[in-house]
Amino acid sequence: MHIRTIALALLATVSMAAAAQDQKPANEQVIVPQVERRELKLPRFPSKDFELGVFTGTYATQNFGASWVNGLRLGYHISEDIFVEAVYAQTQVSDESFRQVLPGGVFADKKETLKYYNLSAGFNVLPGEVFIGSKRAKATSIYLIGGVGSTNFNQQRRQTVNFGLGTRLLLADRWALQVDMRDHVFSLDLLGKRQSTQNLELTGGLTFFF
């Protein structure tokens, strides 16, 4: 009888402990940390969606040959695939070939300044990489681009449509090399007849992202 009483007492103690354990919340934190939480201020990294660049190359004015062209570009990348770009450039166009057969040539002076600006939209169609050696790889992209603008040439200001393609090679975190091939289409009346002209341009430049 004494052993039976002790067993019943132990069983009652275990039952009471189990009941007390069931009454505790399931999500009760066992260990309470003594370190107070701090509010962290995340750093603001530059988005590098904007780009500013310079370029130079050759501009072939229809009927007047090719000459050096220099310009500036400012772009904004809307997404990884789509971007917009504003460009301003100028070149010196010569009528030397006409002066050999026409007295006085076509222009008032031997050279005339051609200036243009445009606003274009581009689309990256072939993103990829270029491997330099066995340990280095640089990101590249080939894009299509086109837009509208204005060309000022020999006291004539003409609406211009441009379209073409280009490639971009990222040299570092913020720098890139860019090569563009464009066709600038606008009308001119310099030879006694107004006609649409095709003016091809090939340029290369350096771009900074910020």
- Whether this prediction's pTM lies above 0.95 is answered by no
Greatest mean pLDDT among 1-10, 52-61, 96-105 lies in 52-61
DSSP letter for each residue of 74-94: EEEESSSSEEEEEEEEEEEEE
**Structurally, how many domains does the chain consist of?**
1
In a domain, 168, yes or no: yes
Task: Indicate which CATH number applies to the domain containing 198.
Answer: 2.40.160.20
Nearest one of 105, 167, 121, 122 to 141, comparing CA atoms: 167
Query: Is the predicted pLDDT of residue 24 greater than 70, yes or no?
Result: no
Domain that holds residue 101: 50-209
In a domain, 91, yes or no: yes
Question: How many C-beta atoms lie closer than 10 Å to residue 153's C-beta?
Answer: 24
pLDDT given at position 99: 82
177: helix, strand or coil = strand
Q: How far is CA 4 from CA 16, 30, 42, in A?
A: 19, 37, 67
Locate all alpha helices (DSSP H) within the chain, ordered by sequence: 2-22, 96-99
In a domain, 191, yes or no: yes
CA-to-CA distance for 60 and 93, rounded, in angstroms?
Answer: 9
In a domain, 31, yes or no: no
In a domain, 203, yes or no: yes
Q: Say if strands 111-132 and 82-94 run parallel, antiparallel, or are unpaired.
A: antiparallel
* pLDDT tens-place string over residues 108-118: 888 999 999 99
Evaluate the CA torsion angle 80, 81, 85, 90 in order and state its sign. Answer: positive
Q: Which of 35-49, 103-117, 126-140, 194-208 has the lowest mean pLDDT?
A: 35-49
CA-to-CA distance for 181 and 203, rounded, in angstroms?
Answer: 7
In a domain, 20, yes or no: no
